[in-house]
Structure 1
Amino acid sequence: MNQPIYSRRPTNNSAIPDTIFIILIANGLLFSLQQFAPRLTFEFLALQPIVSPSGYITPSFIPWQLITYGFLHSTNSLMHIIFNMLMLWMFGRDIEMLMGPRRFLIYYITCIVGAGIIQLLVGVLQGGGVPTVGASGGVFGILLAYGMAFPERRIMLIFPPIPMKAKYFVALLGLLEFYLGFSGVNNGVANFAHLGGMLFGYWLMRFWKKD
């Protein structure tokens, strides 16, 4: 899927493509719901672990949580939802224009579900897990797609403020998440879920390319 940059660029009328707009609205609405019914949304919509720290199967996991957790965010900091939605808007626009609205939605949801599956498996291997929320799995999948679709594009990093080709940025990001996940330095962040989003995104991109 190493395609050249296409001619139609986002304009003032298409700065937020249809699917991304819907995703942004859905995240905003559910974030608002979290403020009014935090316990209800957390128990039924956050991704609950399937194994407790004591090794028992928990009844709190419900299959739909593999999707709904990706539309919830931490209520302790606005930066969680702001950063994820900003990254989705920045990198997702070109990917939606490339894939089309329907395929983009399939890709995004696949990355969220894949990230959730990996997070659950890691929880089992670690002898228990913690509830997970956030769109990061989908966002990391979008970043992976961006690096594959536009590998030669240059991205200006925030820190350090240097330009870097998208393919190197994505590779570096993946290695960083791998290190943080195994080292435990970034405790409290679902690094393996991020990797899961990238992994499932890569598989789907390869499948579509063959198809």
Structure 2
Amino acid sequence: MRTPILTPIVRTLIVLNVVVFIVQSINHQYDNQIISLFGLYYFESEKFNPIQLVSYMFVHSSSRHLISNMLGLFFIGPMLERFWGEKRFLVFYMLTGIGAGLLYMGVKYFDYASLIDATKAYVLHPDLEMFKKFLAEFYPNGLPGMATEYIPSSGRINVQDSVIIAEESLRAVLNTPTIGASGAVFGVMAGFGMLFPNTELTLFPIPIPIKAKYLVALYALFEYYSGIHKTPGDNIAHFAHLGGMLIAFIIIKIWGKSRNNFY
């Protein structure tokens, strides 16, 4: 596939993402403020705001995070924008990003429900022996960074300390935001695979062309496997990626394809 000529919406989206990241990069305080305001928080978090379902798509954690997303949008987005037109492509991009965020929060609901219930139960009936079991079950890789601040310098935790640590650990988990355009970009990739299934793409650095429909299927399988078998330290929102792909599938089925193949 030849290098695409940037289309208006794709260009605007890339510029907006880059500008936001430049502001983030000015200093650490700006970075924290932008993520705090515009990152997507779990709906039970004290920091959640519905507008974050849109704004989180324009915030990134690192230059690598930004570049990987923008390259995907750069190479694939213009094809869809020319196919649909500017307005429909923008609607598609935004809906896949919003849908990705909603599905991710839905998955998190099942992840967090037991933690929330267990924390509330412990706070009502605290016990140091039970606290050890609580930590082993829900924080096997250690407490969230913010919660460790509530451990006494002596290292000896009493019942009152354990209650505070349990509450602050839950607050830290709920106040961890999701950021990035990945959900929308994966939606764009899925849309490309559905509309232009036989277009051959080459994955760098492997110089072997593969049809778009197979590449999208492989990505979907990889994200599903990575989401189910998440390794310690993996902070990638795999189910947000899958959410973007799922919403793309639904939208295209609703809109209907006007042609089946593209070479």
- Give TM-score, length-normalised by structure 2: 0.69
2:64 corresponds to: 79
Q: Does 1:21 find its partner at 2:11?
A: yes
2:162 corresponds to: none
2:210 corresponds to: 164
Change (3 A) 1:69 1:180: same
Of residues 203, 206, 210, the one that matches 2:253 is: 206
Q: Does 1:39 find its partner at 2:41?
A: no
Separation in structure 1 between the aligned mates of residue 101 and residue 59 of structure 2, nearest angstrom: 13
Tell me the C-alpha RMSD between the 2 structures.
1.9
Separation in structure 1 between the aligned mates of residue 78 and residue 217 of structure 2, nearest angstrom: 21
Of residues 171, 181, 184, the one that matches 2:230 is: 184
Q: Which runs of 4+ in 1 moved over 3 A?
A: none
Amino acid at match of 1:198: M
Give the C-alpha shift of residue 124 in structure 1.
1.4
Separation in structure 1 between the aligned mates of residue 257 and residue 212 of structure 2, nearest angstrom: 23
Separation in structure 2 between the aligned mates of residue 145 and residue 82 of structure 1, nearest angstrom: 20
Q: Does 1:69 find its partner at 2:56?
A: yes
Change (3 A) 1:142 1:170: same
Give the C-alpha shift of residue 157 in structure 1.
1.7
Higher helix share: 2
Give the C-alpha shift of residue 35 in structure 1.
2.4
Q: Does 1:115 find its partner at 2:100?
A: yes
Separation in structure 2 between the aligned mates of residue 83 and residue 29 of structure 1, nearest angstrom: 16
Separation in structure 1 between the aligned mates of residue 66 and residue 193 of structure 2, nearest angstrom: 23
Change (3 A) 1:210 1:143: closer
Give the C-alpha shift of residue 161 in structure 1.
3.0
Separation in structure 2 between the aligned mates of residue 139 and residue 179 of structure 1, nearest angstrom: 19
Q: What is the correspondence of 1:139-150 to structure 2 with a 5 Å cutoff?
A: 139-150=185-196
Post-superposition Cα deviations, 1:63-120, rounded to whole Å, max 9, x if no partner, equal 000010000001xx31110111111010111011001000000000001101100111
Aligned residues: 192
1:3 corresponds to: none
Q: 2:3, 2:75 within 8 Å by CA — same for their partners in 1?
A: no
Q: 2:191, 2:252 within 8 Å by CA — same for their partners in 1?
A: yes
Q: Bigger radius of gyration, 1 or 2?
A: 2
Change (3 A) 1:87 1:10: closer
